[in-house]
Amino acid sequence: MPARAYNTQAGSWDLSGAKFVDGGVNFCCFSRHATAVELLLFDGPTTPQPFQVIELDARVHKTFFFWHVLVEDLPEGTCYGWRMDGPTNTAESGCRFDPDKLLLDPWCTTVDDRLWDRDAARRPGDNLATAMRSVLLRDAYDWEGDVHLHVPLTEAVIYEMHVGELTRHPSADTPHPGTFRAVVEKIPYLKDLGITHVELLPVMAYDLQDVPPTTAALGLENFWGYSTHSFFAPHPHYACDPAGARDELRDMVKALHRAGIGVILDVVYNHTAEGGSDGPVISLKGMGNEIFYHLDAADLTQYRDYTGCGNTVNCNHPLVTRYLIDSLHYWAHDMHVDGFRFDLASAMARGEDGEPEHHAPVLWSIELSPELGHAHVIAEAWDAAGLYQVGDFPGFRWAEWNGHFRDVVRAFVRGDKGLIQHVATRIAGSSDLYEAQARLPANSINFITCHDGFTLYDLVAYNDKHNQANGEDNRDGHDDNLSWNCGAEGPTDDPEILALRRRQAKNLMAILLLSQGVPMLLAGDELLRTKQGNNNTYCQNNELSWIDWRLGEDNRDMLAFTRAMIALRKRHPTLRRERFLTGKPDREGAPPDIAWHGVRLDDPGWDDGNAQTLAFMLAGLAEDEPHLHVMLNMWDQPLDFALPHLDGRGWYLALDTGQEPAVQPLEQQPAVHDGRYRVGARSVVVLEGR
């Protein structure tokens, strides 16, 4: 195709990315130390050569550290990329300019990676034929009146899920498996389950090819998506039409909102797909490596790695902070997302010197941003270099994944002794972590399982991880899972072991949904989904990871149990308290908001190093709300628990994980007499007092 040229003007420095303006398209990107900058324009995402290369003159096209140009009358659908040259003395400057590499626009909202070759971007030389392209599209989406739901976390039941895992299995029976459109088809199921929010594993554009060589040799890819390269663009592989990824994601958000379900994104701002010194040049590394990444002060060719992924984003540099905040504002405002879960968020608390900062600018900018004032902000409050901030994450509004809750409840249910003080603290909302800082129970995101680790079923079916399929000699993934296989490792035909596993899974689910704070479920746990003991399926885009929806029939008792537990939580405001429990009455004439017991009343046995039982009574918040009495017996023998006396009320059995069915319909709950209840071995019982 013959070259053609569009006329250009100087453009503006204060419109980041590519924006349609009067007369054309304004392009702008950042590079402090670049000495030569080119904008390359392509007819399409797979066109091998640009139809125009625009050389920017610093005297006309550079303002401060921003490079900009306006291209007149440029049509929608044009693809583009940048090339930059500059200092190559990386050891002295930290710069990594490579004029042979085509760079993505860090602000692009649509990206096409059909030509992408990660290895070519790692090697010296021209990668024009194998680079990703930024796609220029107008934005005229019709939200049809959609608004954020603003459901408070106090009312939330979060469902962590992966877009691909949800619908790639043939049993999902969808014409568009693994896409945003297929998620829409599953909305009736999600609504029936009772969850209030989905928390989506990364949906920003990421590098499928970012896996170790031994993993790639097995034909595996980066499936989970914790390898972001574009912080404004949806992942094109989740769209039926890559060019329409932005609007297909919006369609999904709009449909979820119509069903009353909020959308939380798992965002990865702590590192990027560009990796370490041997990683590819994609965008930021070739524009401002010395600014966007933490570099080793003793050797600027090396990266400080607080993430375990080769690099760490220098989040608290002023420009980087602004860039990340702009990204969040875009997803909240333009994409109508309701909240964010920040992967390895403690890496974002590190200052430019790598040391933790309690007043980290990026975190407090998120905390105090008016544009994010109604967005949920949730921290994975640790990083891969040992910084653990659960209970001490900077800010007050931030909720945190409560790793203490996960670990204590797992250990208690598997049968560890002497934990009941810790169990009580976690069930009551983890006041030890949050109350002294004027935080609330909703600051605690309680979970038993998440994407990272065993599924709920594998937690009760395996003692050890079995990650050989990942190609890393079983070295990857967590070694200490606080799991128990109930007597056999993995698959078994033993009916007693299988029954115990189901009961243990229900015990864990019950405790999660009976605890103060915000419960988060892992997608598929309600179906007793297994990954065959693999606790790190980040690279398994296959049936090992995909949810098999036939399990809904095979394990319909667990699915019914989960639905019923969520419904029980929703009909009892006392399980969703906004303030911490005090042990005192909420109102005159009411019992204490919580009273702790054991097998005997008023005798929880706090100092008993062998204790494996705990009971507590929660008073209804309102006069007409039933009280709840919860009994936990993790001993291997049944025990008779004494019941509190109720004036003018009686106890009725709501659930007993030692029975089948475990949950009693509200209108059919049997009365419990005689002041005692026998709780079976390794069982959870809940009574309603009305």
Backbone φ and ψ for 366, nearest 5 degrees, come out as -70, -45
Q: Are 79 and 42 in contact (CB under 8 A)?
A: yes
Q: Is 466 exposed, middle or buried (0-12, 13-18, 19+ CB in 10 A)?
A: middle
From CA 305, how far away is CA 311, in angstroms rounded?
Answer: 5
The two tokens of residue 59 are 């005297």
**274 carries an active-site annotation:** no
**3-class SS of residue 246:** helix
Give the integer Cα–Cα distance in Å for 333 and 143.
12
DSSP H or E stretch at residue 181:
helix 180-185
Residues 412, 679: Cα–Cα separation, whole Å:
16
Residue 135 identity: V
Angle between helices 495-513 and 403-414 (to 10 degrees): 140
Q: Are the C-beta atoms of residues 430 and 390 closer than 8 Å to each other?
A: no
Closest CA to 134 of 262, 257, 241, 44: 44
Residue 51 Cα distances to 23, 39, 41, 242, 510, angstroms: 20, 11, 6, 22, 61
Spell out the residues 6+ positions from residue 340 whose beta carbon is closer than 8 angstroms to its own.
264, 265, 266, 267, 328, 331, 375, 376, 377, 378
Element (H, E) at 686: strand 683-689
Give the span between the Cα atoms of 378 and 248, in whole angstroms. Answer: 25
Contact 443, 400 (CB under 8 A): yes
Which tokens is 513 given?
Answer: 């949904």
At 566, give phi and psi (nearest 5°): -65, -40
Annotated catalytic residue within 248, 290, 380, 656: 380
Report the alpha-carbon distance of residue 464 to residue 449 in Å, rounded.
15
Q: Given 343, 452, 525, 593, which residue is catalytic?
A: 343
CB 238 within 8 A of CB 249: yes
- Return the SS3 of 675: coil
Length of the chain: 690
Cβ 399 vs Cβ 199: under 8 Å: no
Query: Is 100 an annotated catalytic residue?
Result: no
Of the candidates 137, 131, 109, the one whose C-alpha atom is nearest the C-alpha of residue 49 is 131
Contacts of 26 (CB under 8 A, 6+ apart): 11, 12, 15, 18, 19, 68, 69, 70
Strands 339-342 and 66-72: unpaired
Please give the positions annotated as active site: 343, 380
